[in-house]
């Protein structure tokens, strides 16, 4: 009986601990490849963005969380081909690289505003190109993080071409999910203020809801996995101890 109990506990603990460790490794891999992910883009009948959700990865190890907040907020309010209004300005380049042009006037190839990366790198600008005397390496919408970069007039002109944010008095409401420190909230608030300044908004017009979520740290996930394993093991132990011997 005692041996079968140990075998039962082992059959529960090992898979659960494996899940916890795998979750940890997946989170660490995500942290190396990305600082955040924005999804659940929604637009109204006019094609104007009305909401999106951003999940931030391992914020405590991010060297410039404000940079990430600026970048992801720009995605949320329009810098993505997910939105029809943005995608309508995008045309494939004829250079066999997969890169794309963003045009101020979709019907006029001479109104180039930006050169975008191939689709497999998301909706970002190619940092190796210069457009209209602007070095795109200086854009916060490059695919990799450069500490200290913030949203600028370059991104303003692109989003104005697609959505005409100037004059709409964009109002960005933030919904914080999960646990945030004051410094982390400050990075989000900085991005919101910067966007409203960039588009000359007084915050009384078009409403956009930005939901922000902190991904649990890898150690937190591991702790949860161990806690669940322990709980299940105790339940199994109680059931085993209450079973009559054969």
Classified as helix, coil or strand, 19 is: helix
* Angle subtended at Cα 130 by Cα 38 and Cα 121, rounded to the nearest 5 degrees: 30
pLDDT in tens, the chain (246 residues): 222 333 454 554 444 444 444 444 344 333 334 899 999 999 999 999 999 999 999 999 999 999 999 999 999 999 999 999 999 999 999 999 999 999 999 999 999 999 999 999 999 999 999 999 999 999 999 999 999 999 999 999 999 999 999 999 999 999 999 999 999 999 999 999 999 999 999 999 999 999 999 986 443 444 444 444 444 444 444 444 444 433
CA-closest candidate to residue 54, choices 202, 188, 242, 171: 188
> What is d(CA 34, CA 158) in angstroms, rounded to the nearest whole number?
24
Give bridge partners of residue 173 from the DSSP assignment: 209
- DSSP E strands, 78-129: 90-92, 100-103, 112-116
Q: What is the pLDDT of residue 222?
A: 44
Rounded to the nearest 10 degrees, the angle between the axes of helix 65-76 and helix 182-198 is 50
Q: What is the pLDDT of residue 56?
A: 98
CA-closest candidate to residue 222, choices 55, 11, 17: 17
Give the Å distances, CA to CA, from 4 to 29, 113, 243. Answer: 38, 70, 12
- DSSP E strands, the chain: 36-43, 49-56, 90-92, 100-103, 112-116, 130-131, 134-135, 171-176, 207-214
């Amino acid at each position: 009986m005692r041996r079968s109990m140990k075998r039962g506990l082992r059959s529960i603990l090992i898979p659960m601990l494996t899940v916890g460790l795998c979750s940890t490794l997946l989170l660490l891999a995500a942290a190396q490849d990305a600082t955040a992910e924005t999804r659940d883009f929604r637009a109204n009948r006019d094609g104007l963005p009305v909401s999106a959700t951003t999940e931030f990865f391992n914020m405590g190890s991010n060297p410039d969380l404000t940079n990430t907040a600026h970048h992801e907020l720009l995605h949320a309010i329009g810098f993505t081909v997910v939105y029809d209004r943005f995608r309508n300005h995008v045309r494939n380049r004829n250079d066999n690289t997969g890169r794309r042009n963003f045009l101020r006037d979709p019907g006029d190839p001479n109104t180039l505003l930006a050169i975008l990366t191939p689709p497999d790198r998301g909706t970002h600008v190619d940092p190796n190109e210069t457009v209209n005397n602007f070095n795109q390496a200086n854009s916060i919408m490059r695919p990799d993080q450069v500490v200290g970069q913030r949203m600028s007039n370059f991104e303003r002109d692109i989003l104005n071409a697609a959505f005409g944010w100037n004059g709409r008095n964009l109002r960005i409401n933030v919904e914080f999910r999960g646990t945030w420190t004051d410094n982390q909230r400050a990075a989000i608030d900085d991005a919101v203020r910067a966007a409203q300044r960039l588009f000359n908004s007084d915050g009384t017009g078009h409403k956009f809801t930005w939901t922000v979520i902190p991904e649990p740290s890898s150690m937190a996930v591991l702790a949860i996995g161990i806690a669940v394993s322990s709980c299940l093991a105790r339940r199994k132990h109680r059931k085993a101890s209450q079973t009559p011997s054969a």
